[in-house]
Amino acid sequence: MANNTALPDGIFSLLDTDLYKLTMQCAILKYLPDVHVTYAFTNRTPHMRLSRAAFQWLQEQISKLANVSLTTAELDYLKNTCTYFNKDYLQFLTTFRLHPSKQIHASFALLNDTGSPDDVGDLSLDISGRWLDTILYEIPLLALTSEAYFKFCDRDWTYRHQQGRAYIKGRRLIEHGCIFSEFGSRRRRDYHTQDLVIQGLKQAAADSEAQGWQGKLSGTSNVHFAMKYGLTPVGTVAHEWFMGIASITNDYVHANETALRYWVGCFGEGVLGIALTDTFGTPTFLKAFKRTMPTPANSMADDKKTLIPGAATPPLPPMDANGTTDTSEERSYAQIFQGVRQDSGSPTEFIKMMRDFYDSQGIHEKKTIVFSDSLNIELCLEYMHAAEEAGFAPTFGVGTFLTNDFQHESNGQKSVPLNIVIKLSSANGHAAIKISDNIGKNTGDSETVHKVKETLGYVEKQWVNGDEATRWGTEDDEATMANVQEE
């Protein structure tokens, strides 16, 4: 008989996801519990297709996601570690379940049907339901899709030296003073690879600390692995939060400010305080970032443009460290947030833009920039030096370079990762889109994208290194890790 409680191969925990999926779900529960959404899957490497056997395996694992639930130990971990989660959210998680049979439609369009399990085709994943109930699908679905491809389609690789190479990468970053986190869940080769990588990074961090080096492994975005290995879970908010609010309100002019206001209202000041700038282009975001956060003295006079119609509760003003309302002074979001995250476009141009912005606002305290777009050792060090010279505290979220960096065993050439994404495609019946600071990362309905760009006066940008189809190399390249010599 089939085991109706079996967990998916490669997904063993509800917490095997990025922290910001949980933080956004917490905010959605508080403010927008009844919003209906859809998500769409995109393969930015469309020539890399699943086989029939891979798709069938993926379908089986998707159905088993219904059996994943929060354990008592995981609940205790969240209570003690992620103290920004409120009691209502923690209680909600204790009974939370995914219902893939009702919420996910997976289909497979064969290119040429010969009846063989090796016949390839194009994968489609469509997700629909309440935002609150479907937000946790993204990471496991991407991880499982990647695992399916490398389990059935590209099998010319092994785990050999993965832990050792992660160790070497970690040591090199830390030795040069780099502070970084592991961000590799969504495009990992599989669960075991990420496990090996984190073990290697932990050992590198321990040995580097003994050397007195200034760099640091600051944590991982994956809450399950943070719990498993005693690391700090790292993350704040994703594009999805801004996309959803813009779609719900159908107000792209005020969407960034509205999203910031409700975020601070949920978690308070000084908590989860790294702002993501590029959902509708960084220049548009900065117009909102310099706006004043409403306080009890001025919130009633607010023109209501940053309130979400139908939200379950209005956002509270920011609180001080003691949990009481801070009425001492009016401050902008740029002052309240500890820093920003760079996730598209040219990092060096972003550094200059943010330096000019903070200077224009009279903000002289050292702010953080988190870099998270397609990083490797050389890029981390380049951006670190540029950011430090501009007066910032740089940190890095390194993902695919760590958890999906393999070579083909037969010829030593790179085994290229899939570049796949799942993005919010609608909320309450309105299209949800993302523009970013690079045209290659535009997402969503093209007509809506065009209209929003016109509305916001968006200036089109195309970064020379922003080709998403070849972002992680081609099969003609030597593997990145092959250039990291074994010790």
Summarize pLDDT for 41-100 with one digit per residue, the tens. 999 999 999 999 999 999 999 999 999 999 999 999 999 999 999 999 999 999 999 999
Lowest mean pLDDT among 174-183, 228-237, 307-316, 374-383: 307-316
Tokens, residue 150: 């490398």
Phi first, then psi, for residue 21 (nearest 5°) are -70, -40
pLDDT score at 305: 85
pLDDT score at 71: 98
Res. 485 pLDDT band, cuts 50 70 90: very low
pLDDT tens string 378-393: 999 999 999 999 999 9
Average of per-residue pLDDT values in the chain: 92
Does the pLDDT at position 479 exceed 80?
no
What sign has the CA pseudo-torsion 314, 320, 324, 325? negative
Q: How far apart are CA 110 and CA 113, in angstroms?
A: 6
Q: How far apart are CA 167 and CA 187, in angstroms?
A: 19
**Residue 209's CB: how many other CB atoms inside 10 A?**
13
4 or 418, higher pLDDT:
418
Does the pLDDT at position 21 exceed 70?
yes
Q: Identify which of 377, 50, 427 has the alpha carbon closest to the alpha carbon of residue 240.
A: 427
Q: List CB contacts of 427: < 8 A, sequence separation 6 or more.
A: 35, 36, 37, 131, 243, 244, 247, 248
pTM: 0.93
pLDDT tens string 56-65: 999 999 999 9
pLDDT score at 466: 53
| C-alpha radius of gyration, the chain, whole number | 22
Q: How far apart are CA 223 and CA 16, in angstroms?
A: 6
Q: What percent of the chain has pLDDT over 70?
A: 90
Q: How far apart are CA 239 and CA 281, in angstroms?
A: 11
pLDDT, mean of residues 394-414: 96
pLDDT, mean of residues 271-282: 96
pLDDT score at 419: 94
pLDDT score at 2: 44
pLDDT, mean of residues 2-7: 73
**Residue 30's CB: how many other CB atoms inside 10 A?**
19
pLDDT score at 487: 39
Q: How far apart are CA 362 and CA 347, in angstroms?
A: 23
pLDDT, mean of residues 439-457: 92
Question: Are 478 and 412 in contact, with CB atoms under 8 Å apart?
Answer: yes
Residue type, 194: Q
Does the pLDDT at position 439 exceed 50?
yes
Name the helix (H) or strand (E) containing 41: strand 36-43
Give the burial string for 276-293 (b: 16+ CB within 10 Å, else e): bbbbbbbbbbbebbbbeb
pLDDT score at 304: 74
Bridge partners, 124 (sequence order): 107
pLDDT tens string 337-346: 999 999 999 9
Residue type, 354: M
Q: How far apart are CA 350 and CA 78, in angstroms?
A: 34
Does the pLDDT at position 373 exceed 50?
yes
